[in-house]
């Protein structure tokens, strides 16, 4: 599996590869056990954002990622965090990619890159409601953009027709589940799909749902 850090070099080639899958919002040791079994490409951890029920402290994050299969890339998800937080976690090797899911602007990304250098990819999330939102995403200096319905974990999709023809590699999030994964991949050809709430029962990640989602993505790609 290609390391996410290598992907910046050839976006067009990478866009043509199989769709990847990210499981987001892990917070328990059993979550790690299950993703190690299912083997998605990426796992997301919401770091020090207490408003999220999926939030983890930096200490718990280090404990969880230490148990993660090394082939799975840990992504730190940050919401308007002090820029030093993602930078320190990346520098220490606790995370291998940074996802910005708040109101971080180009100046924030510039400051972050100054701290982390060029080896750690930055993903910027955009809430998609209008064509103008897609234009902002297209112009982002982040390595990758994530297109979502809102602030994340809402379980709702946005109007996919807005993203048809979007040319840069992107992660698709918002309301994705086992019932619409294949449709999403076939219709939008995302670089990756990002799932969270649909893989839960009672607010907790479910082993069978994680495995089923990963299997759907892998099986769909085998048919291409």
SS3 readout for the chain: CCCHHHHHHCHHHHHCCCCEEEEECCCCHHHHHHHHHHCCCEEEEEECCCCCCCEECHHHHHHHHHCCCCCCEEEEEECCCCCHHHHHHHHCCCCCEEEECCCCCHHHHHHHHHHHCCCCCEEEEEECCCHHHHHHHHHCCCCEEEEECCCCCCCCCCCHHHHCCCCCCEEECCCCCCCCHHHHHHHHCCCEEEECHHHEECCEECHHHHHHHHHHHHHHHHCC
User: How does residue 18 score in pLDDT terms, banded at 50, 70 and 90?
Assistant: confident
Q: What angle do CA 10, 15, 16 make, to 5 degrees?
A: 110
Average pLDDT of the segment spanning 177-193: 94
Average pLDDT of the segment spanning 160-177: 94
Q: Is the pLDDT of residue 63 over 80?
A: yes
d(CA 185, CA 141): 25
- pTM, two decimals, is 0.90
* Segments making up each domain of the chain, as ranges: 18-222
pLDDT in tens, 196-218: 999 999 999 999 999 999 999 99
Find, among 10, 2, 3, 41, the residue nearest to 119 by Cα: 3
Percent over 90 (pLDDT), the chain: 83
Average pLDDT of the segment spanning 23-40: 98
Q: Is the pLDDT of residue 10 over 90?
A: no
pLDDT in tens, 69-127: 999 999 999 999 999 999 999 999 999 999 999 999 999 999 999 999 889 999 999 99
Q: Is the pLDDT of residue 6 over 60?
A: no
Q: What is the pLDDT of residue 11?
A: 42
Cα distances from 10 to residues 2, 6, 119, 148, 168, in angstroms, run 12, 8, 15, 24, 11
Residues tagged active-site? 24, 148
Q: Which CATH fold would you assign to the domain 18-222?
A: TIM Barrel (3.20.20)
Q: What is the pLDDT of residue 220?
A: 74
Mean pLDDT for all residues in the chain: 91
């Amino acid at each position: 599996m290609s390391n996410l850090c290598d992907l910046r070099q050839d976006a067009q080639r990478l866009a043509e590869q199989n769709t990847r899958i990210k499981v987001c919002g892990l917070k328990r040791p059993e979550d790690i056990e299950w993703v190690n079994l299912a083997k998605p490409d990426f796992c997301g951890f919401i770091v020090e954002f207490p408003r999220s029920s999926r939030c983890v402290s930096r200490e718990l994050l280090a404990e969880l990622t230490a148990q993660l299969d090394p082939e799975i890339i840990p992504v730190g998800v940050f919401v308007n965090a002090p820029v030093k937080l993602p930078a320190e976690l990346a520098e220490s090797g606790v995370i291998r990619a940074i996802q910005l899911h708040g109101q971080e602007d180009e100046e924030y990304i510039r400051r972050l890159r100054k701290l982390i250098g060029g080896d750690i990819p930055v993903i910027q999330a955009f809430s998609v409601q209008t064509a103008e939102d897609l234009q902002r995403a297209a112009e982002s200096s982040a390595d990758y953009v994530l297109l979502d319905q809102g602030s994340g974990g809402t379980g709702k999709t946005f109007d996919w027709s807005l993203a048809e023809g979007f040319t840069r590699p992107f992660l698709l999030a918002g309301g994705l589940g086992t019932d619409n994964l294949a449709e999403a991949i076939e219709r939008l050809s995302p670089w990756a799909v990002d799932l969270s709430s649909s893989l839960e029962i009672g607010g907790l990640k479910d082993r069978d749902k994680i495995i089923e989602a990963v299997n759907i993505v892998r099986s769909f790609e085998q048919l291409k």
